[in-house]
């Protein structure tokens, strides 16, 4: 889903590329992977309407996460989705750092054991990856499948967490 004009935007550089963070009323609504060059991130990338404290906190948390020193984010989020999607995204936050779960396991955790495909669709529409760690969801046979940011980013995130435990 593309960034809408009603969001305030902050660009954050990371080891997996520039991240576009989208805010409404100083609550994080979206985080999108971007193919922008790192040079796109400057002091001018914070919308002046944003609460600098919120942006700075998330940027610090992301830096700590990518250093392997943060396992739980505290940034306040406001994702938009259906009740089922919100339930799935909440369940993603319950997967321990450095561990994985299958789509079927997430469906069971969300109270609908036959909804593995629907979990996959909810993951596909996850508006705040990394904070809602859909990269920790794998196929029932252990295969790394689908990730909106690309499998190379999924592998990077999983390796980061595995090596930081």
pLDDT value, residue 1:
44
Of 22, 29, 55, 134, the active-site residue reads 134
Q: Tens of pLDDT along 55-106? A: 789 999 999 999 999 999 999 999 999 999 999 999 999 999 999 999 999 9
Q: Tens of pLDDT along 4-50? A: 457 788 888 899 999 999 998 889 999 999 887 777 766 555 566 66
| Structural domains in the chain plus CATH codes | 8-66 (no CATH), 83-164 (1.10.10.10)
Instruction: Respond yes or no: is residue 134 known to be catalytic.
Output: yes
- The pTM (predicted TM-score) of the whole model is 0.88
Exposure string of 103-139, with b = 16+ CB inside 10 Å and e = fewer, is bbbbbbbbeeeebbebbbebbebbbbbbbbbbbbbbe
């Amino acid at each position: 889903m593309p960034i809408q004009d009603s969001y305030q935007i902050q660009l954050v550089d990371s080891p997996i590329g520039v991240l576009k963070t989208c805010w409404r009323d100083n609550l994080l609504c979206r985080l999108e992977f971007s193919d922008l060059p790192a040079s796109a991130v400057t002091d001018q990338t914070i919308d002046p309407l944003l609460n600098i404290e919120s942006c700075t906190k998330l940027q610090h948390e992301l830096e700590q996460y990518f250093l392997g020193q943060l396992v739980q984010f505290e940034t306040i989020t406001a994702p938009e989705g259906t009740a089922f999607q919100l339930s799935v995204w909440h369940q993603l936050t319950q997967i321990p750092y450095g561990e994985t779960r299958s789509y079927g396991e997430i469906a069971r955790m969300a109270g609908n054991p036959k909804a593995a495909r629907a979990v996959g669709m909810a993951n596909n529409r996850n508006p705040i990856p990394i904070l809602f760690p859909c990269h920790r969801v794998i196929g029932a046979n252990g295969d790394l499948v689908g990730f909106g940011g690309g499998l190379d980013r999924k592998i990077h995130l999983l390796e980061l967490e595995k090596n930081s435990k």
